[in-house]
Chain A
Amino acid sequence: MVSSLLAGLVVLVIGDSHLATPGYLITTLHDELTQGGAQVYSYGACGMNAGDWVKATKFSSPSCNAASREGKGPIKVVAGAKASTVAYADLVAQVKPDLVVVVIGDTMAGYMQDSLPKTWVWQQVSRLTKVIKTSEKRCVWVGPAWGSEGGKYGKTYARAQEMSNALGEMVAPCTYINSLEFSKKGEWPTIDGQHFNAVGYKKWGQSIAQAIAKPEIAGSIKK
């Protein structure tokens, strides 16, 4: 159970594939925050990048899903072919969050490429942080976890570290939550190198919620 500092907070969570399938963070992180007393709204869009949340954007990879969940309601899954992101400004107007949580990292890390596309990552991140800044909402940005090497997405520990370092530099005014600090390399089992099994998502969700519930984040928000 996370601390009571979450009690009464309205939390908007947006993210990539890690929030787009039941059993992933849309289950575990959402539940942890809810159990701490927050009213949570989660939206996941598989394969989408940070800049895709500035305006409603149709999926570039229709073979994977979008998902949403409001409070203690069920997870609603929409096939990617029919899905789009929701514009950040629209979500904020609808949810009126005290805290915004962004979970986007793996989709932008260029795991199949020889080098991190850092300029492009900055372009994506800054598109979203600009509108977050305009909204004047407290926010945190959750970076990638270790996963495991050799999976079908080509994820490596070195690139995960490089991506995490880059996001840590770029995401202000959001506070960066470094998921690499939550586990040892390969400690949380994955199904494909990038996505975790139920145990992994449980631990990742708990770790993120605990980080959010700390006084320097949850305790610093004016309700």
Chain B
Amino acid sequence: MSTLRRISALSLSVALLGGFAATSVLALDATGLYDTGPAQDASFVRFVNGTDEKVAITNSKNKGKVELSTQGAARVSLFLPIKAGAKLSANVVVGGKTLPLELVAKPSEFITVATVPSGPGAFKTMVLREQPTEFNALRASVAVFNFDANCASAEVNSAGKTDGIFKNATSQAIQRRAVNPIKAQVQWACAGKPLGTALDMGSLQAGERYSIFLLPAKQVSLAVQDELGAGK
């Protein structure tokens, strides 16, 4: 379960939420009795460290900060609520460089922002967006995120096998599938060659969502259980 350590080690400043959180402006009905849902669907953003340096994401509006280390699940932040349609402006600080970041989420969107190397001493951000339509509580939902431009088409296999649980996981793309809640140990492969070490995901839980990352950092792969940050 080491790769599924929860993000307790993650240094996450909840102050960031103040700037990112959806305010859930609710449309009261004409009589003012009560509303039946938010004005727009929920959206979320999370950050992933795909480098060998510490990464900090700061929100200039409220000085909120997310810090990501290079250790296991602490490379990945929670999914933080974000208001759809509103521009999020932040700075990603890594290896002495500052990368400006601007995002606008659509309703129901889950955005993953990875910081990755772009050359010697240089970095860039990569953004993958997903609007999931299935939330099946009887199965586990597993997604793969390939942020490694050096592996244009990867696959994820059961550890020690070539069963292709996920095939053709193209760079800068997401694949997702529902799986039965079983014990899972997986490993990335690129061009048929195993990458990194096998990832022990433990016993997948029904109703939970999981992410398996291929990152260009020295520790090339990572699996985490997704968690939502606080918010309305």
Contact = CB atoms under 8 A, between A and B. Distances in A.
Interface of A: 17, 46-47, 60-61, 63-64, 106-113, 115, 117-123, 126, 129, 152-154, 166, 169-173
B207 A172 contact: yes
Contacts, number: 101
Interface of B is mostly: loop
A107 B38 CA distance: 10
Given A60-B26, A119-B132, A172-B206, A107 B137 contact: no
A123 B37 CA distance: 12
B43 interface: yes
Nearest to A108: B37
B39 interface: yes
B33 A61 contact: yes
Interface of B: 26-43, 107-108, 110, 132-138, 206-207, 228
Given A117-B108, A119-B108, A172-B207, A152 B31 contact: yes
B135 A112 contact: no
Contacts of B134: 169
A119 B27 contact: no
Interface residues of A, dominant DSSP: loop
Contacts of B26: 60
6 contacts: A46-B33, A47-B35, A117-B37, A118-B108, A119-B42, A119-B132
Contacts of A171: 137
B37 A46 contact: no
A45 to B, nearest CB: 10
Contacts of B107: 117, 119
Contact of B36 (A109, A118, A169): A109
Contact of B41 (A61, A63, A112, A119): A119
A63 B37 contact: no
A110 B136 contact: no
Contact of A107 (B36, B136, B138): B36
Given A61-B34, A129-B207, A172-B207, A112 B27 contact: yes
Listed from nearest, the 9 A-B pairs whose CB atoms lie closest are A47-B34, A110-B37, A172-B137, A61-B34, A117-B41, A120-B42, A122-B135, A119-B108, A111-B36
